[in-house]
Amino acid sequence: MTDPRIEFVFGEVSDQLRSELKAFWSQYGKPHQEELKSFRATLSNNQKRMGLLKKPISRQPAAISRDQSGAINGVVFVVLRELETSRDLGSHAYFQRMYVIPESRNPRLANQLFRAFLQGFDREVEKRDHRAKVLLAENINPGLQKASMRRYFARLGFQMLGGNQLGGEIWARKLKTHFSF
């Protein structure tokens, strides 16, 4: 097994990468949505619900993984959203989600892709919207709602906030911010 080629691409999407991502989502967008629906169907409806999010402001890729042939096989993307102010998380947040194609899924790749995303996202303070004080992660996959995965997220600096209306766990990680004129 060779190491995946992982690239942090937040704020640096070339026309070539944009084209590759469009092709990736053209092929995997529907399976991704179907997978999310199946996760939601298997989750209990008795979880505490949190109404955090308003309409998305922007959506963009933040990190990608490539297989041996150079094709994209995993994407971490972020969505900037305005928040309901009742949660004491600030007025805005970045919402993160990751998708790895089924034939490339393994814990090592997921860990490397997620950590590369976090390191790059932490480093690129000036590229992020200064109004976003937190990074939110929704763990809708039941495999991520195990004690070992909860410890993993806690070690990475996330704090669990509760569940949402989709049946996922919402985790928050504070972001350093920088405002300049």
Let me know if residue 155 belongs to a domain: yes
Residue 36: enclosing H or E segment and its boundaries?
helix 15-42
Task: Report the pLDDT averaged over residues 108-133.
Answer: 94
**Residue 20 belongs to a domain with what CATH number?**
3.40.630.30
> What phi and psi, each to the nearest 5 degrees, are found at residue 32?
-60, -50
Let me know if residue 181 belongs to a domain: no
What is the b/e burial string over 39-66, where b = at least 16 CB atoms within 10 angstroms of the residue's CB? beeebeeebeebebbeeeeeeebbbbbb
Task: Report the pLDDT averaged over residues 54-63.
Answer: 84
User: Where in the sequence is the domain holding 31, given as residue range(s)?
Assistant: 5-174
Let me know if residue 179 belongs to a domain: no
- pLDDT computed for residue 52 by the predictor: 47
Q: What is the pLDDT of residues 36-57, one digit of tens each?
A: 777 666 554 434 444 444 667 8
Q: Which amino acid is at 106?
A: N
Round the average pLDDT of the chain to a whole number and report it: 85
Q: Is 7 helix (H, G, I), strand (E, B) or coil?
A: strand
**Beta strand 92-100 pairing with 132-139:** parallel
Task: Report the pLDDT averaged over residues 147-173.
Answer: 87
> What phi and psi, each to the nearest 5 degrees, are found at residue 49?
-105, 145
Compute how many other C-beta atoms are within 10 angstroms of the C-beta atom of residue 36: 18
114 has pLDDT over 70: yes
Compute how many other C-beta atoms are within 10 angstroms of the C-beta atom of residue 90: 16
Let me know if residue 156 belongs to a domain: yes
173 compared with 52, residue with greater pLDDT: 173
The domain tally of the chain equals 1
Structure tokens at 146: 């195990």
Let me know if residue 122 belongs to a domain: yes
Residues with Cβ < 8 Å from 3, sequence gap 6 or more?
Answer: 112
- pLDDT computed for residue 48 by the predictor: 41
- pLDDT computed for residue 181 by the predictor: 59
Q: How confident is the model at residue 86 (pLDDT cuts 50, 70, 90)?
A: low
35 compared with 87, residue with greater pLDDT: 35
